[in-house]
Each structure stands twice: as structure tokens, then as C-alpha cells.
Amino acid sequence: MAELSWDRQAVGQLSQEAQSELMDLCEEQFIQMEKLLNEMILSEPDFNENPQEQSVNRLLATEAELKQWINMEPKLLSANSEILLQAGKEEMLKLCSELEMVASCYEAKRNKLRETKEVEQKWLEETKKVFTAVSDHAERLKTEKENSSELSLLQDMKEKIQKMKSYQERLMSCLGDILEKHVPPLNKELSANAKKKNIQDEITENLISLNEMLEMLMNKVLSTPHDPYLTIDETFWPPYVELLLRHGIAVRHQENNFKIRLETFF
């Protein structure tokens, strides 16, 4: 938008006759104003009157004069076209100056909006790039999932099972080492007890070890989880059974004391 520029020097000056005419009109208006002012001073009411009544009269007079001025059509100060043209040019200069200020304000606002638009446009482009990258990655993952065959899934499952078996073997080996270190062999335990108490009973060779007892309990839980209880017979050495029960490793059946199962560990 092209800026408007006005030069007051470019506006033509009034001629000598027009200036004289304008001065005469101003003198006439000034004389008339003095006359009206004198009339207003002479028409002032006496101060001895009621102040409230005086205020009411002034208000009524002012309202009547206001209505008269509202209904009166404005008249031109002069009918001289040169004077009217000069007054119009002055008013136009004032209006153009105000319009230039408005245009400047809107120009600054437009520049600010342009900067905001550039920032928002940059953010939109970056967001589109991120969205495109995420979409490509999701599509790639979908393609890889569709291309994975049942054979590869089966192979992965076998590897996981093999890892679990190896882990179980390590656990069982560690358990055997702990039992061997902290729990004496069954034959030595029975022999020591028999010598101490001078018991001459023959050592039962059919008793199973604590390691075998724990293995039987674990296998029972894995093979028949719906019925994990194991029946105690003559091969179970009672002190071993009591050891498992007291330490919370095994629990008895609620209705049959000759049945035990491995405690449920969470």
C-alpha cells in the first residue's frame, strides 16, 4: 500500500480579496458575539430572586436554546468558492494525516502477523516431518511383522524353552549344592543318631534323600497342578518332612495329614 504524502506548501494560498472577505466575516461574527454576550449580561436576573427558581429558569432557557440549535440547519461562513476550497484542503490534509497514522499502525500489525505466520509455518513443516518419520517407522514394523514366518516364531519359542531348561538345571544344581553343604547325607545322619542314642535298629535303606523329596514335590506340581499333593509313605524320613513343614517349604493337606504339597511361592 503506497503511503499518502501531503505537503502543506503545495496548497495554494488565499488571494488578497479572499483574505479581506474572510477577515470581514470574522469581524462581523465577533461583533455579533459581543452583542449576544452583552444581552446575556443584561438579561441576568436579580440576585434577590429565589436561587432555586433562578436555576430552573436557566435550565429551561438552555434546553430551549439547545432545541433551537438542533433544529437549525448549519450555514456556510462564506459563499466564496476560494475560501471553501481552502477550508476543504485544510480538512483533507488533517484527514490524510490521520489516515497515514492508521495505515502505519496496520502496517506494523501486518508485519507482526507475517512473522507469526512464518513461525507457525516452520512448526507445521517440522511436525509434518516428524509425522512422516513415525508413519514410515510404523509401516516398517508392520511389514517386518507380516514377513516373520511361523518357522522363525517356532524357533524363537524353542530357544526360549531351551533357556528355561538350562536355567532350571542351574537352579537344581545350586539346590543340590546347598543341600549337600547344609544337610548331611541320610545314612550319616541316621548312623550318628543311632550311635548317640545307642539305638541298634537297622538303618533303612529305602529312605529317599531330601533332594529327591523336593524333586518329587516339584514334579508333582508341574505334572498335575490341579492335584499337587504327594502321599507320604515309608520312604519319607519323618525329620525331613517335619523340616519342610516347619520352614514353610511344604504344607499338609487340610483333610489328610499323610499328604503334602509344595508351598505356593509368589
Residue 176, number of CB atoms within 10 A of its CB: 14
The DSSP element (H or E) to which 262 belongs, if any, is strand 259-262
Tens digits of residue pLDDT in 187-225: 655 555 555 444 434 445 678 888 888 888 988 888 888
Mean pLDDT of 154-182: 84
SS3 106: helix
**Residues 6 or more apart from 251 whose CB is under 8 A from it?**
245, 260, 261, 263
DSSP-assigned letter for residue 9: G
Tens digits of residue pLDDT in 117-139: 999 999 999 999 999 999 999 98
Q: Provide the grid cell at 260.
A: 503334602
Q: Compute the distance between CA of residue 214 and CA of residue 204 in angstroms, rounded to an integer.
A: 20
Tens digits of residue pLDDT in 94-108: 899 999 999 999 999
Closest CA to 230 of 208, 204, 262: 262
pLDDT given at position 101: 93
* The amino acid at 261: R
* The amino acid at 57: N
**pTM listed for this prediction:** 0.37
β partners of residue 261: 251
How many angstroms separate the first and last alpha carbons of the chain? 80
SS3 185: coil
Residue 249, number of CB atoms within 10 A of its CB: 15
Residues belonging to the chain? 266
Q: Provide the grid cell at 231.
A: 502321599
Q: Please list the helix, strand and coil fractions of the chain in percent, rounded to the nearest 5, in that order.
A: 70, 5, 25
Angle subtended at Cα 130 by Cα 127 and Cα 131, rounded to the nearest 5 degrees = 85
* Mean of all residue pLDDT scores within the chain: 78
DSSP-assigned letter for residue 8: G
Q: Compute the distance between CA of residue 9 and CA of residue 22 in angstroms, rounded to an integer.
A: 21
The DSSP element (H or E) to which 261 belongs, if any, is strand 259-262
Q: Compute the distance between CA of residue 10 and CA of residue 60 in angstroms, rounded to an integer.
A: 50
Q: Compute the distance between CA of residue 88 and CA of residue 94 in angstroms, rounded to an integer.
A: 10
pLDDT given at position 7: 43
Q: Would you list the domain boundaries of the chain?
A: 88-121, 160-262
pLDDT given at position 102: 93
Closest CA to 7 of 132, 93, 136, 91: 93
Q: Which of 62-66, 176-180, 226-230 has the highest mean pLDDT?
A: 226-230
* Contacts by 244-249, CB closer than 8 A, 24 or more apart: 244/213, 244/214, 249/214
